[in-house]
Amino acid sequence: MNQKIGKASMKPELPVYILSSASVVGPKEGEGPLGDLFDLVGEDELFGCNTWEEAESNLQKDAVFLALGKAGLNPWDISCIFAGDLLGQSIATSFGISSYEIPLLGLYGACSTCGEALLLGTVMIAGGFADKVLCVTSSHFASAEKEFRFPLEYGSQRPLSAHWTVTGSGAFVLSRESTIKRPILATMENCVLNEKKATRMSKNDTQKDIQSDIHARACVTGITTGKIVDFGLKDSMNMGACMAPASASTLEQHFIDFGSQPNDYDKIITGDLGRVGQTVLIELLKDRGYDISKVHMDCGIEIYDEKEQDPHAGGSGCGCSAVTLSAYILKQLEEGIWKKVLFMPTGALLSKTSFNEGKSVPGIAHAVVLEAVPS
Amino acid sequence: MNQKIGKASMKPELPVYILSSASVVGPKEGEGPLGDLFDLVGEDELFGCNTWEEAESNLQKDAVFLALGKAGLNPWDISCIFAGDLLGQSIATSFGISSYEIPLLGLYGACSTCGEALLLGTVMIAGGFADKVLCVTSSHFASAEKEFRFPLEYGSQRPLSAHWTVTGSGAFVLSRESTIKRPILATMENCVLNEKKATRMSKNDTQKDIQSDIHARACVTGITTGKIVDFGLKDSMNMGACMAPASASTLEQHFIDFGSQPNDYDKIITGDLGRVGQTVLIELLKDRGYDISKVHMDCGIEIYDEKEQDPHAGGSGCGCSAVTLSAYILKQLEEGIWKKVLFMPTGALLSKTSFNEGKSVPGIAHAVVLEAVPS
């Protein structure tokens, strides 16, 4: 039976499977350490569009297209889509995925939205209300700078605690079944929507036997919903420190609810705390009796080469954790290198209005337990 | 068994109950035709705060406080809260309800968010993941004008097709059980958080026997998730016309999925189409073979006195459908005047950025079937 566990966690009776996923990123991310793993890398930040916002919409559109294609599914096979982004009124989502005509449930959890989407997708399927749902989130460096900070044209100097918003979108097909038959024509070749936009396509999937079944990449076996945590920090150029208390809160609650310990996970993966936030999180949890220093990993730290690409504190954005999950984390689970990880995207809840009115930057973090699918 | 029905609908095995609800509104709404039914009416639009955004946050805080109090519940009795508003990055929510320390799932569906929250709350409870959840949404005339249109100080003239954003917040406690024991001290007297802010308090609840059980006001027996529908309209001063195609789409899909007809409902209630949108919706559905003209009601039309208060096309905002549901619609169901209604808040998906970039205003609408609880 599905059940609530402890104060803020839930456990589905049966695992919910991540059947397929896709990642689409910008050129900077393509040149980073995970570059070869992304499905689609844009030639430039505009992706053939006229505005940054349109470009971000396009990221979502392409990520959904690829994730559907990899699972050999059509839009009408999907019961609903959980989606969100960082822009005011989530316009990247509204203009990105409408053409699929899939019932939409829009989310806002700042950079934690990927976790929230996977969490609610799991609830929807495990609750018996859907067979397949899609989750997609995105962020874009230029649209985010415009939304939250200064026009790029100012050439404003960024402090070392600042993050570099990831240009990217990750999409995930969640499914009740771990394996489905592959329709004959569903290969990556058929998924290339506009080759001109891509400098490089991952060939991993094209080499698979097109007659074989499609096996899930991983499964969700537990979820913990985060609450807003506000330590009163007001520096929008230090999001890591703003989000760390919320991630510590969700993580501690997760350990209590599931009666688990840091070492029960091969990795505990935060979304975009970066170097500053990582230090704060590890310290906060040490004070509460948990040492996660050996298993902690942060998508914002992994996605860029700190020496060569100088992202300052690290990457961030709704897209950061999503593309790292799709390209890297699920690969590790698929290949059996990791058996069980805790994936916890982290969000900083601010707007330019709240910042200009002198408000603090509260944080939130949602966690999902991801496990390898037994072969 | 919970099940997916048709393309976009779901039916819980057992009804999910709306145990209690509360509505907090501004002075203009308090002077309207539903004025006497709201729980708390503010003295002015600032509710004792320094900014419009803070005032809107306060609306959510008070609505949650009252809804919890009416059900005799504490914040820790609630598994999670589904919440959202219209402001960029949903800051009314982030700064409104954090003090309750309830796990938060942030939503964005523009003015359809109240429907989305009830929908997901139903899924969460019917899926076995929670016993009680909270849903809350808000809007505020002044924060919305600032967010979407012009500074109020300009005194801009509004066309007749424009809406007046409702200052208000509605909160709902959803529950697996239809009846719970009333804790001895849980009466409305104990819920008055700051009497100075209120010009008037509803006395309905104080007269109840404090020893009696708390009975649900209504129950959710079906849901239909909407998709984005874009007819290419670009006039942000005519939201009714922008949203009507989406509400027609969700409604038609609902009728198909449930095999129902307009007359199966005592009322089909949209969120904030206003006079213009109502005309368009009725016409669009007539073309598709459904005549809803006799059962249609719109919260945006009901909430203001069209002659005395001149809201132009009608009220709008995340708060419009929420406070009308709490104060009026649930009352009608509770008193047995209506047995079954379809409640469908409608949202216009735009931001000032998308508007300034010349984009259209797509719409979305989510529907929940609300039924009277058999006594």
Q: Give the helix/strand (H/E) hosting A41.
A: strand A40-42
Is residue B357 within 8 A of residue A94, CB to CB? The reply is: no
Task: Specify the residue for token string 């459904």.
Answer: B290
Q: Tens of pLDDT along A234-279?
A: 998 999 999 999 999 999 999 999 999 999 999 999 999 999 999 9
Residues of A in contact with B2 (CB under 8 A): 127-129
Task: Specify the residue for token string 């470009």.
Answer: A55
Rounded (5°) CA angle B290-B293-B297: 120
Between CA A147 and CA A124 the distance in angstroms is: 32
**What is the arithmetic mean of pLDDT over A74-86?**
97
Residues of A in contact with B246 (CB under 8 A): none
Our CA-based measurement puts residue B216 at a distance from the nearest CA of chain A, in whole angstroms, of: 22
Q: Give the helix/strand (H/E) hosting A220.
A: strand A218-224
CB contact under 8 Å between A106 and B108, yes or no, is yes
Is residue A170 within 8 A of residue A65, CB to CB? The reply is: no
Closest CA to B113 of B73, B157, B134, B82: B82
DSSP-derived 3-state class of residue A60: helix
Task: Specify the residue for token string 């050999």.
Answer: A72
The first and second tokens of residue A295, run together, are 């298993």
**What is the arithmetic mean of pLDDT over A87-112?**
97
* DSSP secondary structure of A335-362: TTS-SEEEEE-EEE---HHHHHTT----
CB contact under 8 Å between A349 and B87, yes or no, is no
pLDDT above 70: residue A210: no
The first and second tokens of residue B188, run together, are 């409305």
Our CA-based measurement puts residue A370 at a distance from the nearest CA of chain B, in whole angstroms, of: 18
Rounded to an integer, what is the distance from CA B190 to the centroid of its chain? 25
**What is the arithmetic mean of pLDDT over A193-204?**
45
**What is the arithmetic mean of pLDDT over A313-317?**
97
Residues of A in contact with B83 (CB under 8 A): none
Confidence tier at A207 by pLDDT (50, 70, 90): very low
Confidence tier at A205 by pLDDT (50, 70, 90): very low
Residues of B in contact with A357 (CB under 8 A): 51, 53-54
DSSP-derived 3-state class of residue B98: helix
Average pLDDT, whole number, for chain A? Answer: 93
Task: At B197, give phi and psi (nearest 5°).
Answer: -75, -20
Q: Tens of pLDDT along B96-129?
A: 999 999 999 999 999 999 999 999 999 999 999 9
Pairing mode of beta strands A40-42, A198-201: antiparallel
CB contact under 8 Å between A351 and B87, yes or no, is yes
Residue among A108, A125, A251, A356 with most chain B CBs within 10 A, to mutate:
A108
Between CA A355 and CA B3 the distance in angstroms is: 44
What is the count of residue pairs from A and B with beta carbons less than 8 Å apart?
195
CB contact under 8 Å between B104 and A1, yes or no, is no
Is residue A84 within 8 A of residue B108, CB to CB? The reply is: yes
Residue among A354, A359, A366 with most chain B CBs within 10 A, to mutate:
A354
Our CA-based measurement puts residue A102 at a distance from the nearest CA of chain B, in whole angstroms, of: 6
**What is the arithmetic mean of pLDDT over B278-287?**
98
Confidence tier at A211 by pLDDT (50, 70, 90): low
Between CA A144 and CA A129 the distance in angstroms is: 34
Between CA B127 and CA A209 the distance in angstroms is: 37
pLDDT above 60: residue A323: yes
Spatial CB neighbours of B156, under 8 Å, sequence gap ≥ 6: B149, B150
Share of chain A above pLDDT 70, in %: 92
**What is the arithmetic mean of pLDDT over B23-32?**
98
Rounded (5°) CA angle A310-A313-A319: 90
Kindly give the residue spans of alpha helices, DSSP state H, lying in chain B.
Answer: 27-30, 52-70, 91-94, 113-126, 141-148, 239-258, 274-287, 299-302, 306-309, 318-324, 330-334, 352-356
Is residue A10 within 8 A of residue A4, CB to CB? The reply is: yes
Residues of B in contact with A123 (CB under 8 A): 123-124, 127, 129
pLDDT above 60: residue A226: yes
**What is the arithmetic mean of pLDDT over A354-365?**
97
Residue among A51, A82, A105 with most chain B CBs within 10 A, to mutate:
A105
Question: Number of C-alpha atoms within 13 angstroms, CB side, residue A256?
Answer: 12
Q: How many CB atoms lie within 10 A of CB B122?
A: 30
Q: Is B27 exposed, middle or buried (0-12, 13-18, 19+ CB in 10 A)?
A: middle
Confidence tier at B186 by pLDDT (50, 70, 90): very low
> If phi over 0 gives left and psi between -120 and 50 gives alpha, with beta otherwise, what is residue B48?
left
Confidence tier at B307 by pLDDT (50, 70, 90): very high
* DSSP secondary structure of A263-294: GGSSEEEESS-HHHHHHHHHHHHHHTT---TT
Residues of A in contact with B98 (CB under 8 A): 227-230, 362
Share of chain B above pLDDT 70, in %: 92
Q: Tens of pLDDT along A46-58?
A: 999 999 999 999 9
**What is the arithmetic mean of pLDDT over B127-149?**
96
Q: Give the helix/strand (H/E) hosting B83.
A: strand B80-84
**What is the arithmetic mean of pLDDT over B265-293?**
98
Kindly give the residue spans of alpha helices, DSSP state H, lying in chain A.
Answer: 27-30, 52-70, 91-94, 113-126, 141-148, 239-258, 274-287, 299-302, 306-309, 318-324, 330-334, 352-356
The first and second tokens of residue B138, run together, are 């808000």
Is residue B141 within 8 A of residue B315, CB to CB? The reply is: no
Average pLDDT, whole number, for chain B? Answer: 93
Residues of A in contact with B230 (CB under 8 A): 98
Residues of A in contact with B227 (CB under 8 A): 98, 101-104
Q: What is the ipTM of this complex?
A: 0.94
CB contact under 8 Å between B354 and A79, yes or no, is no
Residue among B14, B94, B224, B243 with most chain A CBs within 10 A, to mutate:
B94
Residues of B in contact with A91 (CB under 8 A): 349-351, 353-354, 359
Residue type for B330, please? Answer: L
* DSSP secondary structure of B126-189: HTTS-SEEEEEEEE-HHHHHHHHS--GGG-----TT-EEE--EEEEEEEES-SEEPPPTT-SGG
Our CA-based measurement puts residue A231 at a distance from the nearest CA of chain B, in whole angstroms, of: 12
Closest Cα in chain A to B6: A79
Task: At B261, give phi and psi (nearest 5°).
Answer: -130, 160
CB contact under 8 Å between A123 and B124, yes or no, is yes
Identify any residues that bridge with A40 across adjacent strands, giving them in sequence order.
A24, A201
Give me the residue from A105, A116, A131 closest to B116, CB to CB. Answer: A105
Between CA A329 and CA A335 the distance in angstroms is: 10
Higher pLDDT, B190 or A303: A303
CB contact under 8 Å between B228 and A94, yes or no, is yes
Residue type for A211, please? Answer: Q
Q: Tens of pLDDT along A131-187?
A: 999 999 999 999 999 999 988 999 989 999 999 999 999 999 999 999 998 765 544
Q: What is the 3-state secondary structure (H, E, C) of A81-129?
A: EEEECCCHHHHHHHCCCHHHCCCEEEECECECHHHHHHHHHHHHHHCCC
**What is the arithmetic mean of pLDDT over A294-309?**
97
Give me the residue from A98, A146, A351 closest to B88, CB to CB. Answer: A351
Closest Cα in chain A to B92: A354
For CA atoms B342, B246, B271, A103, the dihedral sign is positive
Is residue B257 within 8 A of residue B224, CB to CB? The reply is: yes
